[in-house]
Amino acid sequence: MREETAVGIGAPPAISLKHVSKTFGGVHALDDVSFEIAQGEVHCLAGENGCGKSTLIKIITGVYQPDAGLVAEYFGESVASMTPNDARRRGIAVIWQDLALFPEMTVAENIAFETLVGGRPRLFSFGKIRAIAQKALASLEVEIDLEERLGRLPIAQRQIVAIARALVSDARLIFMDEPTASLTQSETNALLAVVRRLSARGVSVVFVSHRLAEVLDIATRVTVLRDGKLVGVYPTEGMTQSRLTELMTGTRFDTAVAARDTANNAPVLEVRGLTRRGEFSDIGFVLREGEVLGLTGLIGAGRTELGHTLFGMTRPDAGTIALDGRVLHLKSNRDAVEAGIAYVSEDRLALGLVQPQSIADNLVLPVLGKISNRAGLISRAARDDLVRHWLTELAIKIGHPSDPVATLSGGNQQRVVLAKWLATEPKVLILDSPTVGVDVGARAGIFRIVRKLAESGLAILMISDEVPEVYFNADRILHMAAGRIVGEYDPRKFELPDLEAAVYG
């Protein structure tokens, strides 16, 4: 089912690869995939983790060689093999997710670094470096202090620096790997504006992104890969998020609103007038038994800060938190865990899991007391029972509980974090951005678990800056802006675009 469209530009395509296959140890990473990008086109490469996106990029940039040799054209020239240097010389640049920048060096040096590499060692002038960097930034219509240390810039500006660096090396085709993964909505918009400017100048941009909304917003065509095979190339016009998800995963997802009426359930968590100076003020809400309460708003609205206070990690300046009608005085998150509040952090890679440790050890970390015998030593049998219970409960697919957590996929890691906190048998579960870095397919699995937990009576506060996520999965939605709750919505009574307009402004 290929619905190829040609973008109406007379020039030859930026690149065109035919029938690329690549196997690693008998596994088809790519199976007969053809790929073409027009000059100046903004294209999206979509697919779940492990679908072959990175392999394809690495073949285009000469890092890998395809099995049967390369049959390709780069800017109208036939190419039979490719090396990373050759690709760079021909104007192909990749901006990886980690950006590969130098935080201790200045913005100017980061942008113009390419001019400092290669050739014989020689003297250079800072003036020239600055001029080159200035020119690159000006062409993006962005202003950043050239003398600033890169490490002091927010992620969004570092992203721009990485793009400017690609321009300095005369890139005509830029791959961007998950460029918006850690950006706020307004920063994303600024980045997309830069991408449009690049495109207008004839530079092709290939987006690799999990966020389907922006993919559809910016790209003219989308190439979908699944399990190393080409599913098809589609125009984005008329494409919907749910259809794209379907193409990527090969399964249909229910995107009906899941909200139920929970207004008559018993209140579990009651928050009144909660204020923490500079972070949020006068927060009041009731979270009921079996309810999924969505908390959305732009990054910086104070959502995560509120989560931290509810979990006892920071002290409020005013207001009360009551659990089951009893006011809590949380001095630390240990108190919160004791009281029955669990918090799954946004940055689960850094804060939620001890990556090199085993799945089992990670899972039992907050409940070591529970599985210890009277001498204070950990009982292996108790640990294994607990681990087995939660692995089955959350359908975590793993080789063995003793494998390091780092070997799991994003979705499964998220489940291990969930299991870890559920093992504390909480009454309230706070989920902060539960799907950051998780595949579309795996997201659905996580929300199924969330729903199941709610149905078993757990009260869940789900924090997310992706409005559709809360819209489809929460029973009720609170909108937070500038530290205050500014609106409450019932997903059954509102359309998604209205809610998005309210939040994203």
Partner 1 sequence: MARFFRASPTESRLLLVLIAICVFLSFASDSFFTLVNFTSLLNNSAINLIWAMGLLVVLIAGGIDISFAVAASVVQYVCVYAFDAIGGGNWAIGVVLAAGLGMGLGFINATLIHVFRIISIVVTIATFNAFFGLLMFLSSGRFLYNLPDWWTRRILIFEYQTADGTWAELTLPVAVMFAAVLATWVLINRTTVGRQLYAFGDNPEGARRVGVNVAAMQFIAFGWMGAMAGIGGLMQANIVQEVVPNALIGRELDVLAAVVLGGARLGGGRGSVLGCFLGVLLVAITQNGLNLLGVSPFAFKMVVGGIILVAISMSNLDFGTRARHRPGDDREETA
Kindly list the residues in this chain that would bind partner 1 in the complex (CB under 8 A).
85, 88, 96, 98-105, 109, 113-114, 116-119, 121-124, 147, 151-152, 154-157, 182-184, 186-187, 298-300, 304, 346-347, 350-351
Q: Which amino acid is at 265?
A: N
- Helices 410-422 & 440-455 angle (0-180, nearest 10): 20
Q: Are 14 and 77 in contact (CB under 8 A)?
A: no
How many CA atoms within 13 Å lie on the side-chain side of 221? Answer: 19
CB nearer to partner 1: pick between 238 and 278: 278
CB nearer to partner 1: pick between 3 and 104: 104
CB nearer to partner 1: pick between 126 and 373: 126
CB nearer to partner 1: pick between 89 and 492: 89
Q: Cα separations (Å) of 476 from 400, 460, 490?
A: 38, 11, 5
Query: Smallest distance, Å, CB 191 to partner 1?
Result: 12
Q: Would you state the structure tokens that stand for residue 242, as one six-digit string? A: 């749910």
Terminus-to-terminus CA distance in the chain, angstroms? 38
Matching residue, tokens 């793993």: 398
| Residue 372, φ and ψ in degrees, nearest 5 | -95, 150
Q: What is the DSSP letter of 462?
A: E
* 57 Cβ contact list (under 8 Å, min separation 6): 45, 94, 175, 177, 206, 208
Query: Smallest distance, Å, CB 300 to partner 1?
Result: 3
Query: Smallest distance, Å, CB 89 to partner 1?
Result: 11
d(CA 115, CA 111): 9
Q: Would you state the structure tokens that stand for residue 368, as one six-digit string? A: 């070591």
Query: Smallest distance, Å, CB 160 to partner 1?
Result: 11
CB nearer to partner 1: pick between 121 and 497: 121
Q: Are 494 and 296 in contact (CB under 8 A)?
A: no
Query: Smallest distance, Å, CB 122 to partner 1?
Result: 6
Q: Which amino acid is at 13?
A: P
Query: Smallest distance, Å, CB 299 to partner 1?
Result: 5
Q: Are 68 and 21 in contact (CB under 8 A)?
A: yes
Query: Smallest distance, Å, CB 156 to partner 1?
Result: 6
∠ Cα 36 248 477 (to 5°): 125
CB nearer to partner 1: pick between 33 and 167: 167
Query: Smallest distance, Å, CB 182 to partner 1?
Result: 6
Strand pairing class (318-323; 27-37) = unpaired
CB nearer to partner 1: pick between 61 and 204: 61
CB nearer to partner 1: pick between 102 and 253: 102
CA-CA-CA-CA torsion sign (353, 354, 358, 362) = negative
- Burial class (CB within 10 angstroms; exposed 0-12, middle 13-18, buried 19+) of 243: middle
- H helix or E strand, kind and range, residue 326: strand 326-328
Query: Smallest distance, Å, CB 118 to partner 1?
Result: 6
CB nearer to partner 1: pick between 42 and 112: 112
CB nearer to partner 1: pick between 225 and 436: 436
CB nearer to partner 1: pick between 147 and 455: 147
Query: Smallest distance, Å, CB 102 to partner 1?
Result: 4
The helix/strand/coil state of 329 is coil
How many CA atoms within 13 Å lie on the side-chain side of 380? Answer: 2
Query: Smallest distance, Å, CB 154 to partner 1?
Result: 4
Per the rule left: phi > 0, alpha: psi between -120 and 50, beta: everything else, 295 is beta
CB nearer to partner 1: pick between 187 and 469: 187
CA-CA-CA-CA torsion sign (233, 238, 240, 243) = negative
| Residue 230, φ and ψ in degrees, nearest 5 | -80, 120
Query: Smallest distance, Å, CB 91 to partner 1?
Result: 15
Cα Rg of the chain (Å, integer)? 25
